[in-house]
C-alpha cells in the first residue's frame, strides 16, 4: 500500500499546483498595481478533488492497523499541503472516512476493536483531528461554536452536565431602618411640602412597611 500511496501523493501535488494557478486572485491599488495575491478557497472543490475516495463507493474495504496508519498519514499530507498552498481548511473525521471508503459509524466501531493496535491508531486519529481543529479555532481561523459542535458530533464528545443549584435569598426586614426612613421623609415633607402630600407619602410608606 505504501508504494501506491506515494504515487497518489505525486498526483495530488500536481492537482494542488493546478488548483493554485487556476484560482489565484490578485488585489490591486487604485493605480492598478498588484499589492497582494491569494488563492480562492472553494471547500466543495477541495473536498472532492483532493480528499476524494481512494476506493469505489460501492466497495466495502477492510483495513488492519498498519493500513489505517498509512492512510491517515496520507490524509495529513494532503491536509498540510492544502493549508500551505491554498488556505485555511479544517480537518474532518467524516472527510477522512469518505476518503478511505468507510462510514463514520464503521470508523467509530473500530474504537472497540479486539485488536489493541487498531484501537490505539483510531484513538490517535481522534486526538489529532480534535487538537488540529481546536488550534485553528483558537487562532481565529474557525468559528469556535461550529468547531465544538462538529467535535462533539463526530468525535463523540459529551459535554458534562453541570448540577443545577437553586439559591434562595431571603432578606430580613429591618424595622428600625424602615421607621427611620419614614421619619426622615416625614421631616422633609413637613419642611418643604403641603399637608396633603405629607399624608399621601407617609401613608404609602406605612402601607409598604406593613406588607
- Give the mean pLDDT per block of 10 residues along the chain (211 residues): 83 92 90 88 92 92 95 96 92 95 96 96 95 85 52 47 48 64 67 53 54 52
Residue 199 domain-assigned?
yes
For residue 57, give the DSSP letter.
Answer: T
Q: What pLDDT sits at residue 147?
A: 43
CA separation for the pair 35, 27 (Å, rounded): 6
Is there a single domain that holds both residue 140 and residue 188? no
Structural domain of residue 96, as residue ranges? 2-154
Task: Compute how many other C-beta atoms are within 10 angstroms of the C-beta atom of residue 125.
Answer: 23
CA separation for the pair 95, 102 (Å, rounded): 10
Is there a single domain that holds both residue 119 and residue 194? no
Is there a single domain that holds both residue 52 and residue 82? yes
Retrieve residue 42's grid coordinates. Answer: 472553494
Q: What is the pTM of this model?
A: 0.65
Cβ contact 67:54 at 8 Å: no
Residue 104 domain-assigned?
yes
Q: What pLDDT sits at residue 157?
A: 47
Q: Using CA atoms in the order 73, 138, 134, 49, what is the torsion angle rounded to 10 degrees?
A: -50
Is there a single domain that holds both residue 144 and residue 190? no
For residue 63, give the DSSP letter.
Answer: -
- Beta-carbon contacts of 46 under 8 Å, excluding residues fewer than 6 positions away, are 19, 82, 86, 89
Residue 126 domain-assigned?
yes
Residue 164 domain-assigned?
no
Helix (H, G, I), strand (E, B) or coil at 45: helix
Residue 166 domain-assigned?
no
Q: What pLDDT sits at residue 117?
A: 97
Secondary structure (DSSP) of 110-122: GGG-S-HHHHHHH
Is there a single domain that holds both residue 131 and residue 86? yes
Residue 162 domain-assigned?
no
Is there a single domain that holds both residue 123 and residue 182? no
Q: What pLDDT sits at residue 91?
A: 93
Q: What pLDDT sits at residue 191?
A: 62
Distances (CA, A) of 39 to 21, 132, 163: 8, 22, 48
Is there a single domain that holds both residue 124 and residue 35? yes
Is there a single domain that holds both residue 190 and residue 100? no
Q: How many domains does the chain have?
A: 2
Is there a single domain that holds both residue 87 and residue 16? yes
Residue 165 domain-assigned?
no
Is there a single domain that holds both residue 8 and residue 84? yes
- Report which of 3, 80, 95 is spatially closest to residue 49, judged by C-alpha positions: 95
Is there a single domain that holds both residue 94 and residue 185? no
Q: What pLDDT sits at residue 6?
A: 84
CA 133 to chain centroid, in Å, comes to 8
Amino acid at each position: 500500500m505504501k508504494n501506491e500511496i506515494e504515487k497518489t501523493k505525486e498526483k495530488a501535488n500536481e492537482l494542488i499546483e493546478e488548483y493554485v494557478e487556476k484560482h489565484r486572485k490578485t488585489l490591486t491599488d487604485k493605480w492598478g498595481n498588484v499589492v497582494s495575491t491569494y488563492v480562492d478557497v472553494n471547500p466543495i472543490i477541495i473536498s472532492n478533488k483532493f480528499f476524494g475516495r481512494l476506493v469505489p463507493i460501492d466497495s466495502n474495504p477492510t483495513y488492519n492497523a498498519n493500513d489505517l496508519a498509512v492512510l491517515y498519514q496520507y490524509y495529513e499530507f494532503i491536509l498540510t499541503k492544502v493549508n500551505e498552498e491554498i488556505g485555511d481548511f479544517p480537518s474532518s473525521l467524516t472527510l477522512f472516512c469518505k476518503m478511505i471508503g468507510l462510514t463514520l459509524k464503521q470508523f467509530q466501531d473500530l474504537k472497540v476493536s479486539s485488536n489493541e493496535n487498531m484501537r490505539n491508531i483510531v484513538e490517535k486519529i481522534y486526538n489529532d483531528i480534535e487538537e488540529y481543529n481546536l488550534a485553528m479555532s483558537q487562532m481565529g481561523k474557525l468559528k469556535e461554536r461550529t468547531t465544538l459542535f462538529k467535535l462533539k458530533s463526530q468525535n463523540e464528545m459529551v459535554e458534562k452536565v453541570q448540577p443545577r443549584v437553586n439559591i434562595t435569598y431571603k432578606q430580613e426586614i429591618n424595622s428600625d431602618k424602615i421607621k427611620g426612613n419614614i421619619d426622615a421623609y416625614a421631616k422633609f415633607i413637613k419642611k418643604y411640602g403641603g399637608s396633603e402630600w405629607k399624608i399621601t407619602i407617609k401613608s404609602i410608606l406605612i402601607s409598604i412597611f406593613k406588607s
